[in-house]
Amino acid sequence: MFTGLIESVGTVLAVEERAGSRRITIAAPALASKLVTGASISVSGVCLTALDIHAGADPPVFHADLAAETVARTSLAKLAAGAKVNLELPTPAGAPLGGHIVQGHVDGTGTLLSLDPVNSDADPEFADWWMRVSVPPGVGAYAAEKGSIAIEGISLTIARFEPGSSAGGVVSVAVIPHTYLATNLHTLGPGSPVNIEADVLMKLARRPLPPAFEVTMEYLVANGY
């Protein structure tokens, strides 16, 4: 489990096509020394397994294999050498949940529509930003104003939701200067695919309840009451 608080930004060094899978190599100077083979790591919101870790390399790197389902459902399919990705290690048991519960199980990809400074005259280092993202069908059912959503693995608060067809729509969020600069958002432009994960608590809350159980005289007699 993750919380959507990005710890570091890594750089994709290579994308290798293999029979039946795809392998990516990511430079992660801040996190490679904390990884062990087989450990989970969130890469732009996608829970992957760290493999072939070389913490002593220059730069320190790890590798991860992308299953066909991951390639089909996430923005990692569009990765190329030089791309920036958000990295987060799993949250230790008992640690504070600073963001919200993020599983790393991406629901689908959205499209970045715009990411503009609130004040166009402000220094980008200190500017607030307004981001609009088109979310895929099925995600809109779990989007609510002031609710949580993970975009590229970043825990964000929905400031506005414009419903669309087939339960899709447009999510707008306010992005503070730290988030803009400390994640890969500053490297993205309109049209970029972004990973979207709806709040799992919203999914559970919207799940249909089982039919109510009715105690009848026939049931009581049949069960010896």
Q: What is the spatial distance between Cα 222 and Cα 8, in angstroms, rounded to a whole number?
A: 62
Residue-level pLDDT at 166: 66
Task: Give me 69's structure tokens.
Answer: 């389902």
Q: 89-107, pLDDT tens digit by residue?
A: 999 888 888 889 999 999 9
Which pLDDT score is estimated for 220? 76
121 confidence band (pLDDT: 50, 70, 90): confident
Residue 222, amino acid: A
pLDDT at 119: 92
The answer to whether 94 and 130 are in contact (CB under 8 A) is no
| Res 14 pLDDT > 70 | yes
DSSP E strand stretches across the chain: 8-18, 21-27, 40-43, 46-49, 51-54, 61-66, 84-88, 108-117, 129-135, 148-151, 154-163, 169-175, 193-198
CATH of region 108-206: 2.40.30.20
Which pLDDT score is estimated for 113?
A: 97
Q: Which backbone phi and psi does 160 adopt, to 5 degrees?
A: -155, 140
Higher-confidence residue: 142 or 212? 142
Residue 209: which pLDDT band, with cuts at 50, 70 and 90?
A: low
Domains 8-88 and 108-206 share a fold: yes
Rg of the chain (C-alpha set): 21
Lowest mean pLDDT segment, chosen from 52-56, 92-96, 128-132, 195-199: 92-96
In the predicted model, is pLDDT for residue 215 greater than 80? no
Q: Which of 28-37, 94-103, 213-222 has the lowest mean pLDDT?
A: 213-222
CB 147 within 8 A of CB 101: no
Q: In the CATH hierarchy, which fold is given to the domain comprising 8-88?
A: Elongation Factor Tu (Ef-tu); domain 3 (2.40.30)
Q: pLDDT value at position 84?
A: 98
Q: What percent of the chain has pLDDT over 70?
A: 95
Q: Does the pLDDT at position 29 exceed 80?
A: yes
Least reliable range by pLDDT among 27-31, 82-86, 220-224: 220-224
Element holding 180 (H helix, E strand): helix 177-182
Average pLDDT over residues 176-189: 96
| Highest mean pLDDT, choosing among 41-45, 67-71, 204-208 | 41-45
pLDDT at residue 139 in the model? 87
158-175 confidence digits (pLDDT tens): 999 998 866 689 999 999
pLDDT bracket for residue 18 (50, 70, 90): confident
Rounded CA-CA distance 151/198 in Å is 9
Question: Domain segments of the chain: what residues?
Answer: 8-88, 108-206
How many CA atoms does the CB half-sphere of 189 hold within 13 Å?
1
Rounded Cα gap, residues 156 and 100, in angstroms: 9
